[in-house]
Amino acid sequence: MAWIVLIAAGMMEAVWATALSASDGFKRLRPALLFFIALALSMAGLAWAMTSLPTGTAYAVWVGVGASLTVVWGLWRGEERLTLARSLLLLLLIGSVVGLKAVS
């Protein structure tokens, strides 16, 4: 159960990071509100998952999920370019997260 909550918290990290960018320095209300809600959910999920998972592993998975999804969102929206190097590094990041899960 902790892994599911941790992955959901990582997804919320991608949401708050994207909303933070869209808020234009907290000048836009809806993205700013979404940022605060997603941030609270993300931190709460991470904190809860850390009660039963090692801190380093939980944090690495949380960051990896959030960073990966944020990049994928940027690619999907056309805000970032996909290069061979980025593709390989993203696969390495995702593989590392899966590897941490496998050895924990």
The span from the CA of 54 to the CA of 48, in Å, is: 12
Report CA dihedral (25, 15, 10, 3) to the nearest 10 degrees. 150
- Report the predicted TM-score, pTM, of the whole model to 2 decimal places: 0.86
The span from the CA of 14 to the CA of 67, in Å, is: 7
pLDDT band at 74 (very low <50, low <70, confident <90, very high): very high
Over the stretch 24-67, which tens digit does the pLDDT of each residue have? 999 999 999 999 999 999 999 999 999 999 998 899 999 999 99
Q: Classify residue 30 as left (phi > 0), alpha (psi -120 to 50) or beta.
A: alpha
The reported pLDDT for the residue numbered 100 is 81
